[in-house]
Every structure is written in structure tokens, then in C-alpha cells.
């Protein structure tokens, strides 16, 4: 993967994570329904770009074994277990192994950990999805894209008939319910030469679509979601067609914007790129710790909105990123030994 692709993928993940944090800061750092709803593409966008990234990785290494994907999941599981242990100890003010194990199994130390539960499921079968799509794409591109129909039916069955854990949104369903469709779509998109479609017209259309969808979602005026509600659930989490289109339009805007921005070579542009990549590369850790930091730091600011926005908000990204870097260094030291 070249640097340009790395920047836009990291940038898109960064946008998704910033949106996640903004949603969780509603009522603490700001009170604005439009901001909250206009960033509701957050998790859906992250799942979409994760599918895309996994698809690209598989294209580069098509002969890897299925066991390799399981091995690559181990760091994700390790970081999740460590975060659960830290937060359980922090919240209870004591180290209780039984409680830690219980929270680890139930994915409930934080309400937002519903995402971890279904995301690990998607990562577990990621290579299988990539192999299926790769085989279909070789046989027929039309066949590959038409496979979205049975996948949509599967998602409907997951939403209607599976209840794995009592978690929020897509976390309660097998493979996240309709998040499986989003991830599958992301893998499909990795087979497409996006440069052939991404131009000024695509940017304008996507931007207009984004603005319209953000307003419609805020006003809850989505006829297609009401029609599909019996089949796809409530619509926001796991996502409905409208929320998927919202995330897809954001995906297109990010692709074009970050690739354009990558042309700039000034010192300021380089610094901004480094920040974008740093957030994009540490999204998992940011997701694990940001809500706990909100709970811990916001009360210390005594409703000082300037302090909350200027100091606390950046710390929601900086602290988890530092934890992630520390974990990688320890892991490398262990491997070296």
C-alpha cells in the first residue's frame, strides 16, 4: 500500500473515531442535536473502511492461511482484555479477577464495548469473506455485487432471530446484524479502482447527499427506514439503508479530500498528516479508553467549557494513543526476548 492510500485510509478511520468521540461528548462538551446526529455515521464508517482495509490486505497477500487471521486478532483481544482489567479495577477501586473475567466475557465494562464484540466476530471471518468475494469477482463482477442480496437477507435474519448478549445496538446480534453488510460492502469496494470514479462530480454529489442525509436523520424523516424497520431493526444501530448511505457518502468525501490534501508538502501539511495517521493507527485504543477518560476528566473541569474543549478533548485521543504505543513497545520487547 502506498503512502497516499495509507493517508486516506488512516484519515477516514480518524474521521470515524473523531465522530465517535463527539457523539459521546454530547451533553458534556456541547449540546447540539445536529452535531450529535450529523456524526452518527461514525461506527458505520469505521466498519466500512475496516472492511475495505481488510480487502486490500487480502489482495496483497492472497495465499495467507485462515490461521493467520486468527493470529492477527490476538493483539486486538490482548488490548481488549487489558483495557477491561484496567477499567474494572479503576471503577471498583480494587483488583477483582472474578469481576474482570465476568466483564471480559460479557463485554459490558463500558456500554460502547458492544462494538468490540461484533467487530471481533467480523475480523474472525474476514479472510473467509475476502476469499468468497475474490472467487466471485474472478468469475463475474456482476455476480460478486449481486451477492449483496443474500448478505442483506442474512443480516435481516441475524437482526430478527439472534440475541447473543444483552448489549447495545448491533452488539446483541450475530456479526453485528447489518454491520455485517457494511463490512462485506467494504471488502467489495476494495476490488474497485476507486480512482476511476472519484472526481469533482463525485465529491459534489456525495457532499450534497451528506448534507441532505444529515438533515433527514436529524429530523427522523427517513421513509425507507420506516419501511425496512420490520426487517432491519430500529435503523440507527445497527445501521439502516439511510445510515449506510450516510457513511458511504462520508467515505467518498474522505477518499477525495485526503488524496487531494496529500499533494501538499509544506511543514504544516506534514504535521497534520502525522496527526491524522497517528489517530488512524490508534483508533482501536482510542475506542477502548476514550469513554472512561470522559467519565474521569469531565467532572474535574467543573463545567469549564474552554478547558473541556481545549484540554480534555485532545486528551481523549492522546492518552489512548500513548497506551497503544506503550503496548506495542512491550510486545516487541517480549518478541525480542
Q: Locate 191 and state its grid cell.
A: 476490488
pLDDT of residue 310: 94
User: Residue 2: which pLDDT band, with cuts at 50, 70 and 90?
Assistant: very low
Stronger pLDDT, 2 or 150, i.e. the higher one? 150
Rounded Cα distance, 114 and 116, in Å: 6
User: Residue 31: which pLDDT band, with cuts at 50, 70 and 90?
Assistant: confident
Q: Is the pLDDT of residue 311 over 70?
A: yes
Q: Give Cα separations from 313 to 25, 94, 279, 295, 318 (angstroms).
A: 9, 28, 13, 12, 9
Rounded Cα distance, 235 and 244, in Å: 10
pLDDT tens sequence across 128-176 = 999 999 999 988 999 999 999 999 999 999 999 999 999 999 999 999 9
Contact (CB, 8 A) for 127 and 66: yes
pLDDT tens sequence across 78-105 = 999 999 999 999 999 999 999 999 999 9
C-alpha closest to that of 272 among 7, 9, 22, 39: 7
pLDDT tens sequence across 260-293 = 999 998 999 999 999 999 999 999 999 999 999 9
pTM of the model: 0.93
Rounded Cα distance, 299 and 100, in Å: 25
- Mean pLDDT, residues 230-254: 87
Q: How many CA atoms lie within 13 A of 63 on its CB side?
A: 0
Averaged pLDDT score across all residues of the chain: 90
Q: Can you give the residue ranges of every domain in the chain? A: 3-292
- Report the percentage of the chain scoring pLDDT > 70: 97
Contact (CB, 8 A) for 301 and 308: yes
Q: Please, what sign has the CA dihedral across residues 122, 124, 126, 131? A: negative
Amino acid at each position: 500500500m502506498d503512502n497516499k492510500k495509507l493517508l486516506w485510509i488512516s484519515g477516514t478511520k480518524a474521521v470515524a473515531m473523531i465522530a465517535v468521540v463527539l457523539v459521546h461528548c454530547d451533553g458534556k462538551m456541547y449540546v447540539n442535536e445536529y452535531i450529535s446526529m450529523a456524526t452518527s455515521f461514525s461506527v458505520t464508517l469505521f466498519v466500512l473502511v475496516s472492511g475495505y482495509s481488510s480487502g486490500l490486505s487480502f489482495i496483497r497477500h492472497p495465499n495467507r492461511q485462515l490461521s493467520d487471521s486468527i493470529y492477527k486478532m490476538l493483539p486486538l483481544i490482548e488490548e481488549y482484555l487489558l483495557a477491561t482489567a484496567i477499567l474494572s479495577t479503576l471503577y471498583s477501586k480494587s483488583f477483582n479477577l472474578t469481576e474482570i473475567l465476568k466483564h471480559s466475557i460479557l463485554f459490558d465494562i463500558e456500554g460502547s464495548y458492544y462494538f468490540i464484540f461484533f467487530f471481533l466476530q467480523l475480523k474472525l471471518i474476514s479472510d473467509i469473506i475476502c476469499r468468497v468475494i475474490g472467487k466471485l469477482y474472478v468469475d463475474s463482477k456482476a455476480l460478486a455485487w449481486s451477492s449483496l442480496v443474500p448478505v442483506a437477507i442474512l443480516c435481516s435474519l441475524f437482526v430478527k432471530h439472534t440475541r447473543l448478549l444483552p448489549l447495545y445496538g448491533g452488539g446483541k446480534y450475530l456479526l453485528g446484524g447489518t454491520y455485517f453488510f457494511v463490512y462485506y460492502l467494504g471488502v467489495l469496494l476494495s476490488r474497485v479502482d476507486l480512482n476511476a470514479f472519484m472526481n469533482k462530480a463525485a465529491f459534489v454529489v456525495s457532499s450534497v447527499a451528506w448534507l441532505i442525509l444529515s438533515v433527514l436523520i436529524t429530523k427522523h424523516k427517513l421513509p425507507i427506514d420506516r419501511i425496512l424497520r420490520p426487517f432491519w431493526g430500529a435503523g440507527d444501530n445497527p445501521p439502516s439503508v439511510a445510515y449506510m448511505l450516510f457513511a458511504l457518502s462520508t467515505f467518498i468525501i474522505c477518499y477525495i479530500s485526503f488524496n487531494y490534501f496529500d499533494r501538499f508538502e509544506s511543514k504544516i501539511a506534514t504535521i497534520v498528516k502525522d496527526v491524522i495517521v497517528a489517530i488512524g493507527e490508534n483508533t482501536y485504543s482510542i475506542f477502548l479508553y476514550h469513554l472512561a477518560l470522559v467519565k474521569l476528566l469531565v467532572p474535574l473541569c467543573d463545567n469549564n467549557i474552554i478547558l473541556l474543549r481545549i484540554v480534555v478533548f485532545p486528551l481523549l485521543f492522546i492518552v489512548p494513543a500513548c497506551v497503544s504505543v506503550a503496548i506495542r513497545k512491550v510486545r516487541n520487547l517480549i518478541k525480542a526476548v
